[in-house]
Amino acid sequence: MGSSAFGRGRPVLAVVGAAGAVGAEVLDLLSTRADVYGEIRLAGPPRSAGGKAAVRGERVEVAAVAAEVFDGVDIAMFAGNGREAAETAERWAPVAVERGAVVVDGTSAFRDDPLVPLVVPGIGRGRVRERPRGIVAGPGATTLTMIAAIDALHRRYGLRRLVVASYQAASEEGRAGVDALHAQMERVGGDRTLGHRAGDVRGAAGDPGPFAAPLALNVVPWAGSLADGGWTSAERAVRDETRRLLGLPGLKVTATCVQVPVVTGVALAVHAVFGERTDRREAQAVLAGSPGVVLCDVPEAHEFPTPADVVGTDPAWAGRVRRSEDDPKALDLFLCGDNLRQGAALNIVRTAELVAAGAADSTGSTG
């Protein structure tokens, strides 16, 4: 990766949220990608303190996050999904900056802050050095799963509008979401009569946990919190993040975010309208040649990506590519990614590598 941006050897890294599901993916990536760091410190909420996690072939103790954790740290990663991870980043990221670290935040804490660059390496025109608050953020899993494919098609055809339906895993709500889904499945799984009468599933599933309704044997058209006009914060985030990353502040984006009873993986049905006439075969070739995207699209053989197929993989997967029958300038496609790895950990790790390298021309979007 070249010399350190910090002028005193390889940078010291702190990973906050190391004991969580996204943190585990971060540590795996740190252990398998090029080793650019000196010391790596692990931290998390008090309940995870004292445990150990594997990184670079060693078992490292997880400390309770505190100001002292960031002393001498050059880069501090904040990893995790859900409210607890965001609250941890909101509290401790400014402390890390005060102690001299550059923060790479993978939670939802700073994504909509105009003073925090929103970065996906390879997308957009900004620089990771442009960080007035000392913080660089990444978008959510839904946007990350979509953005490489949409950027490639935009560069060929000129994007004008997006209509997106996302299907999001329980792990998007962190440990609480996964635990709630498993508990609900245990309560409803043994009754094959459920679903024949209104209210059966809701009553049997019990406490919905962090979801707006029970998720077991159900789909819930709600993710995030209530925003203006009946939209949710997750739906607004897809619009705002896509606009910032592509540098298209006026892009028309409509999103409906749905939570589904899947532990890991996010899927999107995308309708994209462009300024030029599209061609299905050409669009498939564009996607197949795009870094970070794998094309899986043989409809006659029922070959298309599903969340179950992509767990544990780094790329976004594209399939069901079709030119709209009613608009020759529109394409429809289906995208999938691992929301913990491709949709979170990988972007944190790649962005931190750019910070570590001190790459003045690193790509991203400053919004």
Segment 27-76, tens digit of pLDDT: 999 999 999 999 999 999 988 888 999 999 999 999 999 999 999 999 99
Closest CA to 252 of 332, 143, 164, 161: 161
Q: Indicate the burial class of 226 (C-beta count within 10 angstroms; 0-12, 13-18, 19 or more).
A: exposed
Tokens matching residue 315: 């790329």
Local confidence band at 128 (pLDDT 50, 70, 90 cut-offs): confident
Q: Sheet containing 102-105: which strands, arranged edge to edge?
A: 52-55, 58-64, 40-44, 13-16, 75-78, 102-105, 135-137
Work out the pLDDT band at 137, boundaries 50, 70, 90: very high
Predicted confidence at residue 196, as pLDDT, reads 60
% of the chain exceeding 90 in pLDDT: 83
Q: Could you tell me the pLDDT band of residue 1, with boundaries at 50, 70 and 90?
A: very low
Cα–Cα distance between 65 and 88 in angstroms, integer? 9
pLDDT, average across residues 255-262: 98
Res 2 pLDDT > 50: no
Alpha carbon 28 to its chain's center: 16
Q: Could you tell me the end-to-end alpha-carbon distance of the chain, in angstroms, rounded to an integer?
A: 26
Residue 347 three-state SS: helix
As a whole number, mean pLDDT of residues 211-233 equals 95
Distance CA 48, CA 326 (A): 54
| CA dist., res. 121 & res. 27, Å (int) | 19
Strand pairing of 293-295 and 316-323? parallel
Q: What is the CA radius of gyration of the chain?
A: 21
Among 321, 216, 217, smallest CA distance to 270 is for 321
Burial (0-12, 13-18, 19+ Cβ within 10 Å), 271: middle
121, 351 in Cβ contact below 8 A? yes
Q: How far is CA 138 from CA 34, 51, 63, 218, 261, in A?
A: 21, 27, 24, 30, 25
- Locate 111 and state its tokens: 């994504």
- What's the pLDDT tens digit per position in 259-290? 999 999 999 999 999 999 999 999 999 999 99
d(C-alpha 223, C-alpha 330), whole Å: 27
Answer positive or negative: Cα dihedral of 191, 193, 195, 199: negative
Handedness of CA 313, 237, 257, 169 (dihedral sign): positive
Mean pLDDT of 245-267: 97
Residue 184: per-residue pLDDT: 95
